[in-house]
């Protein structure tokens, strides 16, 4: 059997005795029922409400994803059309810049070929022309440094 508890704290002989702290009053059974109900509400929220919210979020994300897939398909079709038009325009540029067409238009404008008798080309020597030199192929002397 356990020893009985002291009711008063030990004191010095010069101090008055302090009474023992009182126990808290007994809790009512209503409070216990309220706590149980609060625990049930929390469990309900965790087991029902949270999964429902997660499912609704998933449905929303799938809806947004489907809309983006449709938009991507539309942009792919538009890209194909633009690429086809680019190729068509490139063919047209090639046709318009053909040498036969240019020579025909030049003849209509009165231009002539360099090989004709009416035109004389000067300085058409094939021996060593230096890009930065004289016509005879020797190096051209530069000016003084600044």
Asked if residue 146 belongs to a domain, the reply is no
Of the candidates 111, 130, 109, the residue with the CA atom closest to the CA atom of residue 119: 111
Return the structure tokens found at 35: 């706590």
In a domain, 19, yes or no: no
Give the confidence band of 130 by pLDDT, cuts at 50, 70, 90: very low
Could you tell me if residue 21 is inside a domain?
A: no
Question: Do 18 and 7 form a contact (C-beta atoms < 8 A)?
Answer: no
104 located within any domain: yes
Q: Please give the backbone phi and psi of residue 38, each rounded to the nearest 5 degrees, phi first.
A: -65, -40
In a domain, 6, yes or no: no
CA 46/CA 43 separation, integer angstroms: 5
* C-alpha–C-alpha distance, residues 13 and 17, integer Å: 9
Residue 139 is assigned to a structural domain of this protein:
no
Per-residue pLDDT reduced to its tens digit, 77-87: 999 999 999 99
- Specify whether the CB–CB gap between 8 and 18 falls below 8 A: yes
Residue position matching structure tokens 């090989």 = 115
Q: What integer pLDDT is reported at residue 112 of this predicted model?
A: 75
Backbone angles phi, psi at 101, to 5 degrees: -65, -40
Segment among 19-28, 59-68, 80-89, 114-123 with least mean pLDDT:
114-123
User: Which range of residues forms the domain containing residue 87?
Assistant: 30-108
Task: Give how many domains the chain has, as a whole number.
Answer: 1
21-45 pLDDT per residue, tens:
777 677 788 888 888 999 998 998 8
Does residue 55 lie in a domain region? yes
The 3-state DSSP class for residue 139 equals: strand
Tokens read off for 83: 């690429």
Does any domain span residue 115? no
Which of 132, 110, 133, 112 lies closest to 121, judged by CA? Answer: 112
């Amino acid at each position: 059997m356990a020893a009985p508890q002291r009711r008063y704290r030990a004191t010095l002989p010069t101090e008055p005795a302090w009474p023992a702290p009182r126990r808290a009053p007994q809790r009512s059974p209503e409070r216990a029922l309220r706590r149980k109900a609060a625990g049930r509400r929390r469990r309900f929220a965790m087991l029902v409400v949270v999964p429902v919210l997660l499912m609704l979020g998933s449905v929303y994300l799938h809806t947004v994803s489907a809309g983006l897939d449709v938009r991507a398909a539309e942009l792919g079709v538009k890209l194909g059309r633009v690429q086809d038009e680019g190729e068509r325009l490139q063919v047209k540029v090639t046709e318009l810049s053909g040498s036969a067409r240019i020579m025909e238009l030049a003849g209509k404008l009165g231009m002539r070929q360099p090989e004709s008798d009416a035109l004389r080309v000067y300085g058409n020597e094939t021996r060593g022309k230096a890009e930065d030199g004289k016509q005879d192929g020797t190096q051209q002397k530069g000016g003084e440094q600044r």
